[in-house]
Structure 1
């Protein structure tokens, strides 16, 4: 406890770090206030139907990512998700469009142009999603005290402006605060429902006669183990040894520094949370198509793919996650570029020829470690289904794995890694008693 207090004092002593943390907390407070401000003209007494509809499914996922703003008909109802969607589209286009590939290799100038393209695409996605959201509001019977045309125009304009504002907040946190701003906004939205989930679970267990205090203790112990499992999956790496010819020729290092051993870390879960997001989006397609078709032969599709705790739903879900893990890992980790960079800098893997042979060697290692990583990721994604089978409340069970837990773990590790860097650079003790934190630069959200 004393070490923890000393660490907090050290953090407060570093003026730059203190200002960054305070700025981040201030911007997050503004974001949470905005999430509870309703759209102009909405009758807040008529939101109960919308809140019931967003209890599960795709809308439940969107509501969790926006911290309840989606179900509150808030000015930030779309949240930061259109920006995330635009970022994913730009990443996928980078595989097929040569001009975007060139921008990705142009350093800082290329990054700025891609960021600008992502912003424009975000607005375009908002202009599609905002009318759909307003249409759903009106279909659900959400009341409003102004005319239809005025409510339509004001709501769409406000929703687009709200997403742009959330995007601006995220970029300010990234530039002047601590951590990845976009990822932190999503994490804060998810954590916002965590206290309510715990209270609901405690109430159900203690008052409902469903196990009592012993069951709650066992659930908390299981939750701790699941969190440790998620942290291990996030941080697990396969270290490939490297050598540099120039440093060896210099007699053990450059500028009088010892050579030491260097490694290339290949992550077991290089794709992060994206395979789960892709798989969840795909899983909602059969039900949506079947509902629009409205034929008797498609009733089994609705039955199986609407049951989130069912065997077939989770089997298909797990298979999709494994497939998307390989797909997104291939996008994220380009072994040819890694091999070229090593060759250009005089680096090589001992016993492997530089260039193409190195790329093939790294690709083989990546293929081997991706399989267990994909299986473990799929297992983590379907853990909430097992939790619901044990009669846990739906909201509490969602924190036992899946997208929510991985985002929380990834963002916290990334933020703590940045704080630790400030401490170590100022010659203070780090956050860990031994070793260093291994975070993820983008928390795997984008």
Structure 2
């Protein structure tokens, strides 16, 4: 809606306009140029009490999430974490998980697993809905069935977090020697800590969805990704120089614009309603369209493929089979491998 200048008040003096009337009539577009629409809308959001509470609540949950990403688990060898941070850059799956955890994986923090177990369990439940008749029946029950599926997704998230945290503990001990005291009680303590951290992330995301703004899981993923930008940008600026830094920055902005443009793209399927006679009137005959998005799945397949490729990496530290470790190290950990690209593209 275009911005309109307020109407000039009526002047009681016929001789000429007063100062107040000249103030309104001299520059009618002054209020429109005073502040950009985006900043004005952002400022108006804090003037609404309910919306202000939701924004502040969302920011508070994000702060708790970032604090949990920096709190380490017990009994860590902090000198070995430097080796972990250097080696994770050469491993595709671990680097991807570290990106979505906001750097918590390389710190071996409470939120090291991030939101990945929940996303994986959500995708698995969606696939099982087509296979298992009971889940399909729940899906058709409406809100009650959705609550049952959500509860089952939570239980599966805890199970996946338990398995992934166990593999992660063995990985950090065997590859990086990041755990000082490696015995069953300490391993159980760290595994339970990581699993509880994943459950807490799941709860925080649901709180944002219920009492905050937007989808909680998406906001937490976005927070984790952008939290790495300052460190990565400063590293590129220090190592490659300003020219390459600005080139990559502009390239990233261009890719973001292209992704948003593709995400908003849709194919409109025309639909023509047949005419029908009701009494003495001719009804119908209208034409409309069905909007089909170009990218129906979004980013979910990418996250699911990375989670699937990440699981054998953790499993090889628990199952010490020579042939299995050879396959994982030669094919599943190298992004340049043909097998890796084929599996990643297929998933």
* TM-score range relative to shorter protein: 0.7 to 0.9
Is residue 107 of structure 1 aligned with residue 107 of structure 2?
no
Distance 1:31 1:295 in 2: 34
Please tell me whether the aligned partners of residues 69 and 77 of structure 1 are also in contact (alpha carbons under 8 angstroms). Answer: yes
Which residue of 143, 153, 159 corresponds with 2:188? 153
CA distance, structure 2, for counterparts of residue 200 and residue 306 of structure 1: 24
Q: Distance in 2 between matches of 1:313 and 1:148?
A: 36
Residue 298 of structure 2 corresponds to residue 272 of structure 1 = yes
Distance of aligned partners of 1:253 and 1:20 in 2 relative to their CA distance in 1, 3 Å threshold: farther
Match of 1:142, SS state, is coil
Distance 2:232 2:299 in 1: 22
Aligned to 1:31: 65
Residue aligning to 2:36: 2
Report deviation, 1:51: 2.3
Please say if residues 268 and 289 of structure 2, whose CA atoms lie closer than 8 Å, have aligned partners that are also in contact: yes
Q: Which is further off, 25-34 or 193-202?
A: 193-202
Q: Is 1:220 the counterpart of 2:249 in the alignment? A: yes
Alpha carbons 1:63, 1:69 under 8 Å: kept: yes
Change (3 A) 1:35 1:260: farther
The residue that corresponds to 1:239 in the other structure is 268
1:93 to 128, 139, 164: 128
Q: In 2, Cα distance between the equivalents of 1:134 and 1:286?
A: 14
2:177 match: 141
- Whether contact under 8 Å (2:70, 2:104) holds in the other structure is yes
Q: Deviations over 1:66-94 (max 9, x none)?
A: 11111111111122211111111111101
Name the stretch that deviates more: 45-54 or 184-193. Answer: 45-54
Alpha-carbon contact 2:81-2:178 (below 8 Å) kept: yes
- After superposition, where does 1:104-253 map in structure 2 within 5 Å? 104-139=139-174, 140-144=176-180, 148-206=183-241, 212-213=242-243, 215-242=244-271
Aligned to 1:416: none
Aligned partners of 1:103 and 1:111 also within 8 Å? yes
Query: Aligned residue pairs: how many?
Result: 305
* Cα deviation, residue 167, structure 1: 0.6
In structure 2, the residue matched to 1:12 is 46
The answer to whether structure 1 residue 316 and structure 2 residue 342 are counterparts is: yes
Distance apart, 1:104 and its partner CA: 0.9
Separation in structure 2 between the aligned mates of residue 201 and residue 83 of structure 1, nearest angstrom = 32
Which is greater in Rg?
Answer: 2
C-alpha change, 1:252 and 1:232, in structure 2 (3 Å) is farther
Deviation at 1:223, TM superposition (A): 2.1
CA spacing shift, 1:295–1:151, aligned 2, 3 Å: closer
Pair 153,294 (structure 1): closer, same or farther in 2 beyond 3 Å = closer
Cα separation, 2, equivalents of 1:93 and 1:122: 15
Q: Say if 1:41 and 1:269 are closer, same or farther in 2 by CA, change over 3 A.
A: same
Q: Separation in 1 of the partners of 2:325 and 2:297?
A: 38
Q: In structure 1, what is the Cα distance between the partners aligned to 2:341 and 2:185? A: 46
Is the aligned partner of 1:63 residue 2:102? no
Partner of residue 293, structure 1: 323
Task: Give the Cα–Cα distance (whole angstroms) in 2 for the partners of residues 36 and 57 of structure 1.
Answer: 22
* Contact map agreement 1:49 1:141 (CA 8 A) in 2: no
Change (3 A) 1:253 1:110: farther
> In the superposition, relative to structure 1, how do residues 91 and 16 fare at CA in structure 2: closer, same or farther (>3 Å)?
same
Q: Matches of 1:79 and 1:295 in 2, distance apart?
A: 25
- CA–CA distance in 2 between the matches of 1:219 and 1:114? 42
Question: Matched residues in 2 for 1:228 and 1:221: separation?
Answer: 11
| Two-structure CA RMSD over aligned residues (Å) | 3.4
Q: State the Cα distance separating 1:234 from its structure 2 match.
A: 1.0
Q: TM (normalized to structure 2)?
A: 0.76
Task: State the 1:174 CA deviation.
Answer: 0.5
Matches for 1:301-312 after TM superposition, within 5 Å:
302=330, 307-308=334-335, 312=338
Matched ranges for 1:372-411 at <5 A: none
